[in-house]
Structure 1
Amino acid sequence: MASNRHLGRIIILQSLYEYEVRSLAGDATADINVIIAKNIEPYVKAVGDTDFIINTTKGILEHQEKLDQELHPLAPEWPLASIAAIDRNILRLGLYELEAQAVPPKVAINESVELAKAFGSENSSKFVNGVLGTAYKQLGFEKSEGTNEQSKTSSVEGEKPQED
């Protein structure tokens, strides 16, 4: 079974994806609080810390415009609108966790890559790894971990994300 935090990230991704798809479809009843509660309910005992899910999901939505602006130069050939909704939300989650620094940077990247492997297209994990690896370098985490360790999150050029 997935760890509590990993399961929490799956629920976060599911909630972000559902909210975005319903909102883009013009569903005026899309309420993130209701969506989160519905998605947590079957797993409440397994996840334990529901605050992590609620706070992270709402934090991403609160900072979505900023996150999207930061993601654009990290994948300039792939405007966010052309990236599949699932991949967009994985990138938002990964970047949010990198910036929040609540977990080590490589954990944030690895968790996002694992989500992309599970829920994205064939190339999603490589694309997510490349974009977040670039963010990792640009945010200065690579320097803070020392120059002797080679980053396992190097940018993968030319990988095509899943399109909507």
Structure 2
Amino acid sequence: MSRRDTREAVFKLIYETELCGEINELSVEQIKSGIEESDYGYFEGVFYGIQEHHKALSDIIAQYAGSFAYERLYKVDLSILLLATYEILYTDIPFKVSVNEAVELAKTYSTEKSAAYINGILASIIKNRNREA
């Protein structure tokens, strides 16, 4: 499984967690069994990191959600934004990679409008992060 596939698996797990309101450890183990051992660190670090920083990530996303209120975001879009925002703020993954992967996930699992919307939110988060650095 490539890093892209692992990222997609993390996205699906985030989505499931957002829908159910809790982590399904059986799903975690099933997904983990299908990824390369070299990606375990990414998988667990990002998935559990998002859970640990969920409130902060949600607040940041809400700050940039604009006229489309955070509460009204599609769970698919929210899951993509949580994943990409975590990567941008808490990992050394290049911003361009995180944004591109998020847009590709949106094109696959959501809509073209969502892809553009997600791209805009992530661009604002990066711009603000760079300004604070």
Question: Under a length normalisation based on structure 1, what TM-score does the superposition of the two structures give?
Answer: 0.73
- Aligned match of 2:32: 40
Rounded to whole Å, the distance in 2 between the matches of 1:16 and 1:113 is 16
Which structure has the larger Rg over C-alpha atoms?
1
Structure 2: segments with no counterpart, 5+ residues: none
Task: Specify which of 2, 8, 33 is matched with residue 10 of structure 1.
Answer: 8
Q: Measure the CA separation in 2 of the matches of 1:132 and 1:139.
A: 10
1:32-71 mapped onto 2 (5 Å cutoff): 32-41=24-33, 43-45=34-36, 48-71=38-61
What corresponds to 1:77 in structure 2?
A: 67
**Whose relative contact order is higher, 1 or 2, with alpha carbons under 8 Å and at least 6 apart?**
2
Aligned residues: 133
Quote the RMSD (CA, aligned, Å).
Answer: 2.1
1:54-80 per-residue CA deviation (whole Å, 9 max, x = no partner) reads 110010011010001111121221222
Runs of 4+ in 1 over 6 A off after TM superposition: none
User: Equivalent residue for 2:89?
Assistant: 99
Q: Any unmatched runs of 5+ in structure 1? A: 24-29, 145-164
Q: Percent identity?
A: 26
Q: Which amino acid is the alignment partner of residue 65 of structure 1?
A: K
Shift of 1:124: 1.3
Distance of 1:59 and 1:33 partners within structure 2: 15
Distance 1:37 1:80 in 2: 30
